[in-house]
């Protein structure tokens, strides 16, 4: 990988326009409390290197640049160092739009300064849709592309009044507002295209959820990363976009099976639900009649795995991973029949002196059960504590063979408690 002060070798002139489409970097994201600066730095270094090696003319980042509205200083530095590197690279233009995770004001603050470096930031929705339409020029100063840089659109951006409306009505209005906005932006792009001496490719950008998209579920990433958002049909985007570069969904995918309408997906695995998934960015060539799209796999900078099973299964999986020389971050979910109270200790022993780290440990056997009254009106106070313990054994479907030992241990603990404080048993 290239160091910060090294620049890429100037590429030979390629046939036509080449665009690199990315989104959802989520710089500054932490995984179950773990900082990921090294991974983000490695990704940005790879992206710079890839943009150079592939001779990309334009780099697009379609929203969710940062994970939070107030990224830390170290994260901001990663971002600005990267912009600096890109500004010095042969990749002429960088177009950045805001996603739902970004603060429009924060992203916009250095906008004018960055414009001088051919870095275009559209984060705050401008007064006129025409201001979202960028005409990018090549080295010779000739027009080479029109980019419709539409940021994440919020209710308030589309000026729809929320008062007295149902959720469905509001979502429908938001979807209509988004559709209208794209139509306006595209009309401005068409007018610009007509004014040019020769037509150039028209590229749309967006950060939103379109119908038919797939999202990861299972660990809260759905509500956290996608949120409640009107789902817009694929027909919301004018068919005349030569390529549509979308962000918001973290799995790379085409929209409606169309080659030229895509979510690049997030470059890093952002939750255990997507552990082991191949991540990619899109490279688009406009040299031929129709744009040709390739996906470039993003290297894995940190291995992340999710293990689930009963204890023998988990033990076997850990034994297999244990000799690995690379660092592996794990989520472990125990779902066996046996009631295991020392899961943490067992796992710690199984990974001792290895490069495995457990970021999330779940005992599903304990979590999925909770006690309910057997009869209506029954209260906990009416039951003896030993009765409650028997109900717990039932609720957790503890096998008969395990019960005498558990009961004896329970009685021993309560006896000691009662001897220490006779009131405790009341
Ligand atoms: Mn995102």
Quote the crossing angle between the two packed helices 403-420 and 385-395, to the nearest 10°.
Answer: 150
Q: What is the largest CA-CA distance in the chain?
A: 94
User: Which is higher by pLDDT, 190 or 10?
Assistant: 190
For residue 305, name the pLDDT band (cuts at 50, 70, 90).
very high
28 alpha carbon – ligand 1 mean position (Å): 12
Domain boundaries, the chain: 18-297, 303-425
pLDDT in tens, 78-132: 999 999 999 999 999 999 999 999 999 999 999 999 999 999 999 998 889 899 9
Which pLDDT value is given to residue 78?
97
Instruction: Please check whether the two domains, 18-297 and 303-425, share a CATH topology.
Output: no
**Segments of 100-217 assigned E as strands:** 119-122, 133-137, 143-149, 202-207
What is the dotted CATH code of the domain comprising 18-297?
Answer: 3.60.21.10
Q: Is the pLDDT of residue 26 over 90?
A: yes
Which pLDDT value is given to residue 347?
94
Task: Report the share of the chain in percent with pLDDT over 90.
Answer: 58
Q: Is 153 left (phi over 0), alpha (psi -120 to 50) or beta?
A: beta
118 alpha carbon – ligand 1 mean position (Å): 24
Which pLDDT value is given to residue 214?
61
250 alpha carbon – ligand 1 mean position (Å): 6
27 alpha carbon – ligand 1 mean position (Å): 10
For residue 413, name the pLDDT band (cuts at 50, 70, 90).
confident
51 alpha carbon – ligand 1 mean position (Å): 22
Which pLDDT value is given to residue 122?
96
Which pLDDT value is given to residue 3?
46
Which pLDDT value is given to residue 162?
60
Mean predicted confidence (pLDDT) in 30-50: 96
For residue 403, name the pLDDT band (cuts at 50, 70, 90).
confident
40 alpha carbon – ligand 1 mean position (Å): 15
Mean predicted confidence (pLDDT) in 38-45: 98
The pLDDT mean for the chain works out to: 85
- CB of 282 closer than 8 Å to CB of 265: no
Which pLDDT value is given to residue 238?
65
Whether this prediction's pTM lies above 0.75 is answered by yes
Mean predicted confidence (pLDDT) in 393-421: 81
Q: Is the pLDDT of residue 288 over 80?
A: no
Which pLDDT value is given to residue 11?
44
Max avg pLDDT among 90-94, 341-345, 392-396: 90-94
358: its two tokens: 């457990």
The C-alpha atoms of residue 243 and residue 237 are separated, in whole angstroms, by 10
pLDDT in tens, 150-165: 999 887 777 656 666 7
Query: Which residue in the block uniquely carries the two structure tokens 């160092």?
Result: 81
For residue 204, name the pLDDT band (cuts at 50, 70, 90).
very high
User: Which is higher by pLDDT, 347 or 341?
Assistant: 347
98 alpha carbon – ligand 1 mean position (Å): 10
Cα angle, residue 272 at apex, residues 1 and 320 outer, rounded to 5°: 80
Q: Is the pLDDT of residue 1 over 70?
A: no
- CB of 281 closer than 8 Å to CB of 250: no
198: its two tokens: 């020769």
The C-alpha atoms of residue 69 and residue 107 are separated, in whole angstroms, by 9
- CB of 263 closer than 8 Å to CB of 213: yes
What is the dotted CATH code of the domain comprising 303-425?
Answer: 3.30.160.720
24 alpha carbon – ligand 1 mean position (Å): 5
């Amino acid at each position: 990988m290239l160091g910060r002060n090294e620049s890429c070798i100037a590429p030979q002139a390629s046939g036509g326009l080449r665009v690199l489409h990315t989104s959802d970097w989520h710089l500054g994201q932490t995984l179950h409390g773990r900082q990921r600066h090294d991974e983000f730095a490695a990704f940005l270094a790879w992206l710079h290197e890839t943009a150079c090696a592939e001779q990309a003319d334009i780099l697009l980042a379609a929203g969710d640049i940062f994970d939070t509205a107030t990224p830390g200083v170290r994260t901001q530095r990663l971002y600005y160092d990267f912009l600096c590197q890109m500004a010095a690279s042969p990749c002429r233009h960088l177009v950045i739009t805001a996603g739902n995770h970004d603060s429009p004001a924060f992203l916009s603050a250095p906008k004018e300064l960055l414009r001088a470096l051919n870095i275009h930031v559209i984060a705050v929705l401008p007064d006129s849709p025409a201001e979202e339409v960028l005409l990018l020029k090549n080295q010779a100063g000739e027009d080479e592309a029109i980019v419709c840089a539409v940021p994440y659109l919020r209710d308030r951006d589309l000026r729809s009044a929320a008062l007295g409306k149902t959720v469905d009505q509001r979502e429908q209005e938001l979807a209509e507002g988004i559709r209208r906005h794209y139509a306006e932006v595209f009309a401005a792009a068409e007018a610009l295209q007509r004014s040019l001496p020769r037509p150039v490719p028209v590229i749309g950008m967006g950060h939103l959820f379109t119908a038919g998209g797939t999202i990861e579920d299972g660990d809260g990433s759905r509500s956290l990363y996608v949120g409640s958002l009107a789902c817009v049909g694929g027909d919301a985007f004018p068919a005349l976009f030569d390529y549509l570069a979308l962000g918001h969904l973290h799995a790379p995918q085409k929209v409606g099976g169309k080659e030229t309408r895509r979510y690049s997906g997030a470059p890093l695995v952002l939750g255990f639900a997507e552990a082991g998934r191949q991540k990619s960015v899109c490279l688009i060539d406009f040299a031929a009649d129709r744009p040709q799209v390739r996906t470039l796999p993003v290297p894995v900078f940190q291995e992340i795995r999710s293990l689930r099973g009963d204890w023998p299964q988990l033990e076997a999986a850990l034994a297999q991973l244990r000799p690995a020389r690379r660092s592996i971050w794990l989520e472990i979910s125990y779902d066996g029949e046996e009631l295991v109270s020392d899961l943490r200790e067992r796992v710690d022993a199984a990974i001792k002196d290895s490069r495995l780290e457990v970021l999330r440990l779940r005992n599903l056997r304990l979590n999925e059960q909770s006690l309910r009254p057997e009869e209506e009106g029954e209260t906990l106070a009416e039951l003896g504590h030993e009765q409650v313990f028997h109900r717990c054994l039932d609720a957790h479907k503890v096998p008969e063979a395990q019960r005498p030992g558990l009961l004896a241990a329970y009685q021993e603990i309560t006896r000691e408690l009662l001897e220490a404080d006779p009131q405790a048993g009341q």
